[in-house]
Amino acid sequence: MNSEIYRETILEHYANPVNAGDIPDADATARDFNPSCGDVVEIQAKFSDGIVKDIKFRGEGCAISQSSVDILLGIVKNKTIAEVENFTTEDFLEILGIELSPLRLKCALLGLNTLKTAVHTYLTRV
Amino acid sequence: MNSEIYRETILEHYANPVNAGDIPDADATARDFNPSCGDVVEIQAKFSDGIVKDIKFRGEGCAISQSSVDILLGIVKNKTIAEVENFTTEDFLEILGIELSPLRLKCALLGLNTLKTAVHTYLTRV
Amino acid sequence: MSLNAEKFREDFPIFKRKINNRPLAFLDSASTSQKPQQVIDAIKDYYEQHNANPHRSIYTLCDEATQIYEKAREKVAKFINAKSDKEIIFVRNTNEAMNILAYSYAMENLKEGDEILLTIMEHHANIVPWQMLQKRGVKLKFVDINDDGTLNLNQLNEMITKNTKIVSVTHKSNVLGTVNNVKEIGRIAHDNESIFIVDGAQAVPNMPVDVKDLDCDFLAFSGHKMLGPMNIGVLYGKSDILEKMEPFMRGSDMIKEVQLTETVWNDLPWKFEAGTPNVEGAVGLSAAIDYLSKVGLSEIQKHEEELSVYAMEKLNEIKGFKPVFNGTLKNGVISFNMVGTHSHDVAYILDEFAVAIRSGHMCCQPLMRRLGMQSIARASFYLYNTKEEIDTLAEGLEKVNQVFKV
Amino acid sequence: MSLNAEKFREDFPIFKRKINNRPLAFLDSASTSQKPQQVIDAIKDYYEQHNANPHRSIYTLCDEATQIYEKAREKVAKFINAKSDKEIIFVRNTNEAMNILAYSYAMENLKEGDEILLTIMEHHANIVPWQMLQKRGVKLKFVDINDDGTLNLNQLNEMITKNTKIVSVTHKSNVLGTVNNVKEIGRIAHDNESIFIVDGAQAVPNMPVDVKDLDCDFLAFSGHKMLGPMNIGVLYGKSDILEKMEPFMRGSDMIKEVQLTETVWNDLPWKFEAGTPNVEGAVGLSAAIDYLSKVGLSEIQKHEEELSVYAMEKLNEIKGFKPVFNGTLKNGVISFNMVGTHSHDVAYILDEFAVAIRSGHMCCQPLMRRLGMQSIARASFYLYNTKEEIDTLAEGLEKVNQVFKV
Ligand SMILES: Cc1ncc(COP(=O)(O)O)c(C=O)c1O
Ligand SMILES: Cc1ncc(COP(=O)(O)O)c(C=O)c1O
């Protein structure tokens, strides 16, 4: 049934995101949209010694897109850049552990795509 | 049967048009194409005292388009401009007396449309 | 009810489909409509009996395909009461029609300092093409809405100036349901010697539209929103303006004679139709018009109004249901949000009940910003919808509240 | 024969049709092909089971329509061996694809003094769009043909200059049947740093085409010539070039974010697809590709060659039969004239025998002038054609001679 994807954790991260906010002196910022629904995510990250020191997001959108990015940032914080680069869609979906229809998949992956862009932006600049 | 439209008169006018040629001091010239097949007709006409004094054509195309314009010019020569203006598609098709499919109709009427343009050109100029 | 939706539903094969073991409640016809058997059969019959490339040769099939294509054009002309079928250009959809006008009318005729007057309720199809003109110094101006979701006509009167060369307005809003007084707007535009364009994508499927009565210069609409196939639409234009316009798409069929470096354009309407035409689409649109005409556009409009009244009554009882406007507009479009739940999640949970609604920005981001919303849920009704489906919608919204603990 | 055309014919409902009491001998597939039941059923199934506006919401039907649409894109990508489905833009037909390139590539990148190199055998679709560039001082140059109907590659080598920014060539001529060595032409173009465009309208339906092997920058083709529905076609483009291009059609779906005065474009390929997409067309094209792949493009090519050889033998016996070239090219296209009879009259009399051929200028007026002809008759073959149909064609041509007393 569709509504089963709204697990307690999802709803909790949606209602009370732990990684929402700004990083004033961020090393990299990336922003992406889901063109079909208008969901938006902006990620700001701070790196040092090849490690994700701090990472936050701002966004507007559905429970899936917003809770996913919140969960995602929790995972990657304090990981090495290499680990983030090797972190795949499949890895992330396994952690989320909910079954998603193809269009909902886009919601869930908006944050991950934006994260990859942020890292890429950082790497091509340093 | 299709080939019945190729009456003796049609084939005769196609093989030996009587109104083909140029009028060096023509009062009006008009040229039109059938876009689908490339058939082309150019009509030159000389008027005086409101009468079609002389009228000739040049053209390239199928037996229907070329014989039709030749027959048409024979009909309108020496007629008054008013008579030509009142000469309808129906009048002409009745004289032709052959049954035409819609696309062949375009062939048969290429000359008549060009003639109307020539008369119109003349009238708007004098 | 005046219109027997149950009877019409039988003509639409897709309603035999079950989703999550429930009958499909398709409340998204403002996005695209479903197709009756008559339209599907018309397409099938065309390919099984008459298919050929029209205009190009003179064998029987080619003759038939040409007649079928041009008869469909005549049918469209009659349907919107155009003066002549020369004024009917077959396009892909409303978006393409607007692009023809932006490229072939505006880019050729407007210059720095000129203005295009739009409204804040326009669909992206009637905004983004015009933005192209900005790079040559043409200014876009947007008339606002009133607090009840109607267009602010006073403001329109104030904003129109001697520099306003084009006024382009939607006949009916796909978000608000607002039906604009396009006849009055057209009068204002013409008094100002502006070209007047109507986006008919939402109006033509749902109410009688008469271009002579409206006296618009152009009208654009899409077949797929009015029971017809995808990828066929119409640009109506007054022939004297179309005659003077440059073609848009260039290539075969839109020419009379091609030389290496110059070309004589074909007559109207073919001047604007390049390449192999979409006979199939025209056939399908023609069958759709037959269907709509038999039901009656006024009947459809009335039916949608009845459903809107019923829905507002029913939905207003649900906790957290917030319509975009307080339901003063009853035109078959109900845009709303559920407090505490994003529209996307609303749509997703409704799918469990086989209820299909649109969620997101509705291709109207400027309007969304004006409304202070990022996203919206929309239920829209058509001739095949019933009160039972609205009951199911209500049931689904209760579940939304339950899942999101509202 | 290697390919069992009789068996394939059974899949095409239109061949049940009789014209003048004779079975239809459709020898005009180079204009448009007939459709197998599989394609017609795919369209029907889409509308009866899955129809929705893709990309826009998240209910089941919308999800399905989106998957169906994007899967069709993947299928096309594989069919022509593109690197990624991002490189596949769904268009209306080959004409539109060329217009995208003329408006969004050439108008943005070419300037006075630049040149576009075409050939004299191009279809209007690959000539007329480029003429637009002339008004900004871009020059069009046309490579000639040799006496045997092949392209004059020496001349191409001579005509290409540092100013040649675009080389656009048909893979296969719709009049001559010539298959150009586009791989070699591409090499020449790229050595010269020119963009290389291939008009694949005739090649893609009739022989294996591999964009990686050809290394073309763009390839355009039409679904309706390859068993697919009307109004779906493909523009393939290398993604790095497409990325840098401005969009063509503007409006909904091709955007990420719309502000009143500016807009963020969507990613590839959607940046080039404005408005409600043609899922139906994509579904039909996908079914057509399945059909063609099962038969095998090389098999089809061989079959057409066999029919060409047979036809030239048979037709050369007929008084007054004059092929445009002496039958050295056996690629399923036979263009000819009958001495003393205009091609239009030839086609008309053949219709009495239910033989459908094309007559006229073939949308190739510059080539016609080069050949010194005003009009031409053309028989073209596809997988469903048989030797018996060629016999009927011969019978019909005898009748032509009889009527016109040749
Ligand atoms: C070589 C060639 N290019 C382009 C076209 C145009 O195709 P369409 O009419 O589908 O745009 C054709 C079709 O006749 C063709 O043969
Ligand atoms: C008011 C309005 N205009 C234009 C469009 C665009 O229609 P299409 O996608 O068929 O081009 C729509 C469809 O959503 C609409 O509602």
pLDDT tens per residue across span D276-285: 999 999 999 9
Per-residue pLDDT of chain C in tens (406 residues, 90 and over written 9): 578 999 999 999 999 999 999 999 999 999 999 999 999 999 999 999 999 999 888 899 999 999 999 999 999 999 999 999 999 999 999 999 999 999 999 999 999 999 999 999 999 999 999 999 999 999 999 999 999 999 999 999 999 999 999 999 999 999 999 999 999 999 999 999 999 999 999 999 999 999 999 999 999 999 999 999 999 999 999 999 999 999 999 999 999 889 888 899 999 999 999 999 999 999 999 999 999 999 999 999 999 999 999 999 999 999 999 999 865 678 999 999 999 999 999 999 999 999 999 999 999 999 999 999 989 999 999 999 999 999 999 999 999 999 999 8
Residues in chain D within 8 Å Cβ distance of C49: 13-14, 17
C234 pocket-lining for ligand 2 (C-beta < 6 Å): no
pTM of the model: 0.96
Chain C (74-113) residues lying within 8 Å, Cβ to Cβ, of chain D: 92-96, 98-99, 102-103
CATH number at residue A16: 3.90.1010.10
Look at the alpha carbons of C185, C187, C189, C194 in this order and tell me if their dihedral is positive or negative.
positive
Residue D253, by phi and psi: left (phi above 0), alpha (psi -120 to 50) or beta? left
Phi, then psi, of A117 in degrees rounded to 5: -65, -40
pLDDT at position D327: 59
Ligand 1 centroid to Cα of residue D29, in Å, is 12
Q: Which residue reads 């409340």 in tokens?
A: C27
* CA atoms of C246 and B22, how far apart (whole Å): 33
Phi, then psi, of D355 in degrees rounded to 5: -95, 125
- Residues D93-143 have pLDDT tens digits of 999 999 999 999 999 999 999 999 999 999 999 999 999 999 999 999 999
Give the binding-site residues of ligand 1, using a 6 Å CB cut-off: C 252, 275-276; D 93-95, 123, 125-126, 170, 174, 199, 201-202, 222, 363
pLDDT at position A126: 75
Domain containing residue B86: 3-125
Point out the residues of D that are catalytic: 363
Average pLDDT (D12-35) is 97
Q: What percent of chain C has pLDDT over 90?
A: 93
pLDDT at position C216: 98
* CA atoms of D80 and C264, how far apart (whole Å): 35
Q: Over the Cα atoms of chain C, what is R_g?
A: 22
Closest atom of ligand 2 to CA, residue C199: 3
> Nearest ligand, CA of residue D178?
1
Instruction: Give buried/exposed letters for A25-39 (b at 16+ CB in 10 A, else e).
Output: ebbbbbbbbbbbbbb
For CATH 3.40.640.10, list the domain ranges present in chain D.
40-293
* CA atoms of C142 and C154, how far apart (whole Å): 13
* CA atoms of D24 and D226, how far apart (whole Å): 19
Per DSSP, the three-state class of B48 is: strand
Residue D329 reports pLDDT greater than 80: no
| B vs D: CB pairs below 8 A | 58
* CA atoms of D100 and C46, how far apart (whole Å): 29
Q: Would the CB atoms of C403 and A6 count as touching at under 8 Å?
A: yes
Comparing C-alpha atoms, which of C149, C131, C150 is closest to residue C141?
A: C131
pLDDT at position B103: 83
Phi, then psi, of C321 in degrees rounded to 5: -75, 120
pLDDT at position B101: 87
For CATH 3.90.1150.10, list the domain ranges present in chain C.
5-33+296-403
Q: Total structural domains in chain B? A: 1
Average pLDDT (A104-119) is 94
Which H/E stretch holds residue D2? Answer: none
pLDDT at position C130: 98
Q: Which residue reads 């596809």 in tokens?
A: D382
| B vs C: CB pairs below 8 A | 29
Q: Would the CB atoms of A38 and C365 count as touching at under 8 Å?
A: yes
What are all long-range contacts of C107-112, with beta carbons under 8 Å and residues at least 24 apart?
C107/C132, C107/C133, C107/C136, C108/C245, C108/C246, C109/C165, C110/C136, C110/C138, C110/C165, C110/C166, C111/C136, C111/C137, C111/C138, C112/C136, C112/C137, C112/C138
- Residues D307-324 have pLDDT tens digits of 999 999 999 999 999 999
Top CATH class, D40-293: alpha beta
* CB count in 10 Å sphere of residue B79: 16
* CA atoms of D385 and D383, how far apart (whole Å): 6
D370 contacts: CB under 8 Å, gap ≥ 6: D120, D144, D145
Ligand 1 centroid to Cα of residue A111, in Å, is 44
| Residue A48 CB burial class (10 angstroms; 0-12, 13-18, ≥19) | exposed
Q: Would the CB atoms of A36 and C360 count as touching at under 8 Å?
A: yes
How close is the nearest chain B Cα to the Cα of C255, in Å? 7
For a pocket test of ligand 1, which of C276, C278, C279, C280 has the largest count of ligand atoms closer than 8 A to its C-beta? Answer: C276
C359 pocket-lining for ligand 2 (C-beta < 6 Å): no
* CA atoms of A110 and A31, how far apart (whole Å): 10
Phi, then psi, of D236 in degrees rounded to 5: -90, 140
Comparing C-alpha atoms, which of C349, C329, C346 is closest to residue C337?
A: C346
The architecture of the domain spanning C5-33+296-403 is Alpha-Beta Complex (3.90)
Q: Which among D352, D360, D374 is the nearest to B2, CB-wise?
A: D352
pLDDT at position B34: 85
Prediction ipTM score: 0.94
